[in-house]
């Protein structure tokens, strides 16, 4: 009597098991029950049929029933739902969904491959005919029918499927709003690694709502959010995760987890030795933690199907466990992960280090080089716990190599030594994987001490070793710019009594600076992953765009009246293949040659440029009017400034600074008053005000260096100097000083609340271009010499002040 095997579910896990069974032992009678009308279809391709990228529906049907029957001799019953399992009799009860009859089928072995079902939150309107899930071909067909009548889609849930649907709905020309209840998209990843995804969504004009949940859906498809906002959609997609289809197993008394997953051993055998289970429905081994987990992905389902077949055929195959390797495309971006995230590592209490590395996918000199950003999490002994990779090209190669390294228990030291393919088009002589190994190993070996972007101490001296053009696109507040190539000659400008945090764009120049300073005896740390990673933590993209409009004719102030109308010209600049700061430097050079009002259209392939350019425009007085994706890159349109602001334009971040100014007379050297002056000045300069602080009388003490400068002075001047505070660190509160206790308390409170202290505010003001002017007359009266003042201070008299005040529209006296 041949073995009879029944398989419930005829797609990924079920069909891979069925075909393997027949390849191993053709005498086995294999019957597959599938409640849908197709088997073995590519559900992973469904979003792309919706987007029109896979135009032909039949391409998704990887195999047909007829084809499988012919090739393997399988008995495949579509439109047949298994409604119960009778373990005692080793039978399944099956309903024919076409004619509603019920039949009983005996088995020797049963394989449950019933997959999972999208979770639909129980909110009013969730069952409306405008609400869809995407799980089976039938779902896709219903969606395709509805789409021609739809203009604005709301996608609820920004995981794998939500992101794929979002992209594809945009391809079809719909307006799309993506709603996510977490504070970041791709909730399975660490938040900072998802910043580029958010940027990519915004560049592609997707409306994204984070920290939001849908509360109800109206009959016409409008979605009411928790915050009270309403998404004006007419079609809604529920992409809020999946739950296992395990009712049959639970009813049959098989062991399941509290969340309903079927528990299997390494042979994919359930608590009943004659019943196997595979795919989305099972709970199995986690190779990283050694615990249990479930991963709803096609790769594990297929591998598990093979393992179940092997064991049914008497082979002793074992499933190697899960690590959650996945990849998703979001417009031009690829996003991938394997193993544990940092959040999970923390939850498990596993000691770890992490490194952020942004190597190029191939050498810069070959056109089209793009960065591939990697976050690797590893144990103090070097074993890899997890990795996340984001980029444009080469992401799959990086994640697959790291996934294999993790599975085969390699360490970050092994990554240094991997011999990987390289030619100018691919990889690198120092491959990205080697770079990840070097950076991570340096951390373990103590060759570099890193500080993470979210852990920079407030009293650290932050040293930016990038080029000035890079700093124009944004800096860490309070940092001092000394390009790495000038560091040797300017090392005396650095403090010897503070922790210095070096940083550059991605970590390499910061590391070079670190090594130099460390050997010089400084207390120094390098910022993990550089400014790029820091900005992923602290500068979430919020680019709101204006509809691209022509800036209109510009009235020339100098030309004679007759020909005073200057028509703006449009110029195109291709900076593809260049990496930061290359694109910005080229843009800077190009824009200098244009006249105000001309439009520079820049084509770039570095997404970092799209992140940097809004701040750059803001800092340099130009106007960003649009960012959009084009092919494998981005087009950024900038109007050369200064340009007049159209009346309706109030929302963009990238408005041209109006001609406005603020002057502050700082008369006081009381800590609280000076703090107020700098808070206002920093705020004003960031809003585009030309800001000047004029320090006079006691206010001059704010500008004094914190160490005494040996200088020729009269006795009276010396006495004055001794009695007055030496710089910002020595200032006291005007009230409640209480012999210094109040001042210390205030500084402590500010620190605990993460409020910038006065030294940082001062440094930030200098970096941001606030003019600090010392009153020459007061200096004379108080015996303060130029050498005693901090760098960057100008000296001016009343005339200087009045000139600045005349150009300003706000004047304050503190």
Kindly state the smallest distance separating residue 151's Cβ from ligand FAD, in Å. 22
Q: Hey, is 634 helix, strand or coil?
A: strand
Compute the distance between CA of residue 526 and CA of residue 538 in angstroms, rounded to an integer: 17
Kindly state the smallest distance separating residue 213's Cβ from ligand FAD, in Å. 22
Residues whose CB is less than 8 angstroms from the CB of residue 715 and which lie 6 or more positions away in sequence, other chains included: none
Nearer to ligand FAD, 249 or 384 (CB): 249
Q: Hey, is 670 helix, strand or coil?
A: strand
Compute the distance between CA of residue 411 and CA of residue 405 in angstroms, rounded to an integer: 7
**Is 17 noted as a catalytic residue in this protein?**
no
Q: Where are the beta strands (DSSP E) in 465-545?
A: 479-481, 500-503, 524-527
Neighbour-count burial of 597, counting CB atoms closer than 10 A to its CB (0-12 exposed, 13-18 middle, 19+ buried): buried
Compute the C-alpha angle 454/744/749, nearest 5°. 40
Write the DSSP assignment of 66-135 as a string of letters. HHHHHHH--EEEETEEEEEEETTTTEEEEEETTT--EEEEE-SEEEE---EEE-----TTTTSTTEE--S
Crossing angle for the helix pair 65-72 and 12-24, nearest 10 degrees?
20
Nearer to ligand FAD, 33 or 689 (CB): 33
Kindly state the smallest distance separating residue 415's Cβ from ligand FAD, in Å. 25
Closest Cα to residue 111, out of 41, 12, 27? 12
Binding residues (CB under 6 A) for ligand FAD: these are: 8-9, 11-14, 33-36, 43-44, 46-47, 81-82, 113-115, 134-136, 161, 245, 248, 279-281, 296-299, 301
Point out which residues pair with 275 in neighbouring strands.
110
Nearer to ligand FAD, 35 or 509 (CB): 35
Nearer to ligand FAD, 110 or 587 (CB): 110
Kindly state the smallest distance separating residue 164's Cβ from ligand FAD, in Å. 6
Kindly state the smallest distance separating residue 73's Cβ from ligand FAD, in Å. 20
Nearer to ligand FAD, 33 or 531 (CB): 33
Nearer to ligand FAD, 289 or 302 (CB): 302
Kindly state the smallest distance separating residue 162's Cβ from ligand FAD, in Å. 10
Distance of CA 438 to the CA centre of its chain: 23
Instruction: Report DSSP state, residue 280.
Output: G
Which CA distances in Å does 526 have to 465, 468, 523?
Answer: 11, 19, 11
Point out which residues pair with 639 in neighbouring strands.
599, 623
Compute the distance between CA of residue 174 and CA of residue 177 in angstroms, rounded to an integer: 10
Nearer to ligand FAD, 6 or 465 (CB): 6
Placement of tokens 């960031």 in the chain: 686
Nearer to ligand FAD, 109 or 543 (CB): 109
First to last CA, the chain: 98
Instruction: Report DSSP state, residue 329.
Output: E
Kindly state the smallest distance separating residue 760's Cβ from ligand FAD, in Å. 46
Which CA distances in Å does 794 have to 341, 776, 800?
Answer: 50, 10, 10
Residues whose CB is less than 8 angstroms from the CB of residue 550 and which lie 6 or more positions away in sequence, other chains included: 568, 599
* Catalytic annotation, pick one of 17, 44, 154, 239: 44
Nearer to ligand FAD, 298 or 687 (CB): 298
Compute the distance between CA of residue 617 and CA of residue 599 in angstroms, rounded to an integer: 13
Compute the distance between CA of residue 363 and CA of residue 368 in angstroms, rounded to an integer: 9
Contact 118, 238 (CB under 8 A): yes
Nearer to ligand FAD, 237 or 634 (CB): 237
Compute the distance between CA of residue 162 and CA of residue 155 in angstroms, rounded to an integer: 6
User: What is the CB neighbour count within 10 angstroms for residue 290?
Assistant: 8
Which CA distances in Å does 404 have to 265, 280, 288, 306, 425?
Answer: 23, 22, 12, 20, 23
Kindly state the smallest distance separating residue 200's Cβ from ligand FAD, in Å. 18
Q: Hey, is 387 helix, strand or coil?
A: strand
Kindly state the smallest distance separating residue 479's Cβ from ligand FAD, in Å. 41
Closest Cα to residue 276, out of 315, 312, 229, 245? 312
**571 phi, psi to nearest 5 deg:** -125, 150
Kindly state the smallest distance separating residue 6's Cβ from ligand FAD, in Å. 10
Residue nearest ligand FAD, CB atom distance: 279
Placement of tokens 């959609």 in the chain: 233
Q: Where are the beta strands (DSSP E) in 239-361?
A: 242-244, 262-263, 275-277, 282-285, 292-293, 326-330, 333-339, 353-357
Kindly state the smallest distance separating residue 33's Cβ from ligand FAD, in Å. 5
Compute the distance between CA of residue 793 and CA of residue 70 in angstroms, rounded to an integer: 86
Compute the distance between CA of residue 814 and CA of residue 796 in angstroms, rounded to an integer: 18
Closest Cα to residue 226, out of 207, 212, 238, 208? 212
Kindly state the smallest distance separating residue 223's Cβ from ligand FAD, in Å. 21
Kindly state the smallest distance separating residue 329's Cβ from ligand FAD, in Å. 9
Contact 262, 277 (CB under 8 A): yes
Active site residues: 44
């Amino acid at each position: 009597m041949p073995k009879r095997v029944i398989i419930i579910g005829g797609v990924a896990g079920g069909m891979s098991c069925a075909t393997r069974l027949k390849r191993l032992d053709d005498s086995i009678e294999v019957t597959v029950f599938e409640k849908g009308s197709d088997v073995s279809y590519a559900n992973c391709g469904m979003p792309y049929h919706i987007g029109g990228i896979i135009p032909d529906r039949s391409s998704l049907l990887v195999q047909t029933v007829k084809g499988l029957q012919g090739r393997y001799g399988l008995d495949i019953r579509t439109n047949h739902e298994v409604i119960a399992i009778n373990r005692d009799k080793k039978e399944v009860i099956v309903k024919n969904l076409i004619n509603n009859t019920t039949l009983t089928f005996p088995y020797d072995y049963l394989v449950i491959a019933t997959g999972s079902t999208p979770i639909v939150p129980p909110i009013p309107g969730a069952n409306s005919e405008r609400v869809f899930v995407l799980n089976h071909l039938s779902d896709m067909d219903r969606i395709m029918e509805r789409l021609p009548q739809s203009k604005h889609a709301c996608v609820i849930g920004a995981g794998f499927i939500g992101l794929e649907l979002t992209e594809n709905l945009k391809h079809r020309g719909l307006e799309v709003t993506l709603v996510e209840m977490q504070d970041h998209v791709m909730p399975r990843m660490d938040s900072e690694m998802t910043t580029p995804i958010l940027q990519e969504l915004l560049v592609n004009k997707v409306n994204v709502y984070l920290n939001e949940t849908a509360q109800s859906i109206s009959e016409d498809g409008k979605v009411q959010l928790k915050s009270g906002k309403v998404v004006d959609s007419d079609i809604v997609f529920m992409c809020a995760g999946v739950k296992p289809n395990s009712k049959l197993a639970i009813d049959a008394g098989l062991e399941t987890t509290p969340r309903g997953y079927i528990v299997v051993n390494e042979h994919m055998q359930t608590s009943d030795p004659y019943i196997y289970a595979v795919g989305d429905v099972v709970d199995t081994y986690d190779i990283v933690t050694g615990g249990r987990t479930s991963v709803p992905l096609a790769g594990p389902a297929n591998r598990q199907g093979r393992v179940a077949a092997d064991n049914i055929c008497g082979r002793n195959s074992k499933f190697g466990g899960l690590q959650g390797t996945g990849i998703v495309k979001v417009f031009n971006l690829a996003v991938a992960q394997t193993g544990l995230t940092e959040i999970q590592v923390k939850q498990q209490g596993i000691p770890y280090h992490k490194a952020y590395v942004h190597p190029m996918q191939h050498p810069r000199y070959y056109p089209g080089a793009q960065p591939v950003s990697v976050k690797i999490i590893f144990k103090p002994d070097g074993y890899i716990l997890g990795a996340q990779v984001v980029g444009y090209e080469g992401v799959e190669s990086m994640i697959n190599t790291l996934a294999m390294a993790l599975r085969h228990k390699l360490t970050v030291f092994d990554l240094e030594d991997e011999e990987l393919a390289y030619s100018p088009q691919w990889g690198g002589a120092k491959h990205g994987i080697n770079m990840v190994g070097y950076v991570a190993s340096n951390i373990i070996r103590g060759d570099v001490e890193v500080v993470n972007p979210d852990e920079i101490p407030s009293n650290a001296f932050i040293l930016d070793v990038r080029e000035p053009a890079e700093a124009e696109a944004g800096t860490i507040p309070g940092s001092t710019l000394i390009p790495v190539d000038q560091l040797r000659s300017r090392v005396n400008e650095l403090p010897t009594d503070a922790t210095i945090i070096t940083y550059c764009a991605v970590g390499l120049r910061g590391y070079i600076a670190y090594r130099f300073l460390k050997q010089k005896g400084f207390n120094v740390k390098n910022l993990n992953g550089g400014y790029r990673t820091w900005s992923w933590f602290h500068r979430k993209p919020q680019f709101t765009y204006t509809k691209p409009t022509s800036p209109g004719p510009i009235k020339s102030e100098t030309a004679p009246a007759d020909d005073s109308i200057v028509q703006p010209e449009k110029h195109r600049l291709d900076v593809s293949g260049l990496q930061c700061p290359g694109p910005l430097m080229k843009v800077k050079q190009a824009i200098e040659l244009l006249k105000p009002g001309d439009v520079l259209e820049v084509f770039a392939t570095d997404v970092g440029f799209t992140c940097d350019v809004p701040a750059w425009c803001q800092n340099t007085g130009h106007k960003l009017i649009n960012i959009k994706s084009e092919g494998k890159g981005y087009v950024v349109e900038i109007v050369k400034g200064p340009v007049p602001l159209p009346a309706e334009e109030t929302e963009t971040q990238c408005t041209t600074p109006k001609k406005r100014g603020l002057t502050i007379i700082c008369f006081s050297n009381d800590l609280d008053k000076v703090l107020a002056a700098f808070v206002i000045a920093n705020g004003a300069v960031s809003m585009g005000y030309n800001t000047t602080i004029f320090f006079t009388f006691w206010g001059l003490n704010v500008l004094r260096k914190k160490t005494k400068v040996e200088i020729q002075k009269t006795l009276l001047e010396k006495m004055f100097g001794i009695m007055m505070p030496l710089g910002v660190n020595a200032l006291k509160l005007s009230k409640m000083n209480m012999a210094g206790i109040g001042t210390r308390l205030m500084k402590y409170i500010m620190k605990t609340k993460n409020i910038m202290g006065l030294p940082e505010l001062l440094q930030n003001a200098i970096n941001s271009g606030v003019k600090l002017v010392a009153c020459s007359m007061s200096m004379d009266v108080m015996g303060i010499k130029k050498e005693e003042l901090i760098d960057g201070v100008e000296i001016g008299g009343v005339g200087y002040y009045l000139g600045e005040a005349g150009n300003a529209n706000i004047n304050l006296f503190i």
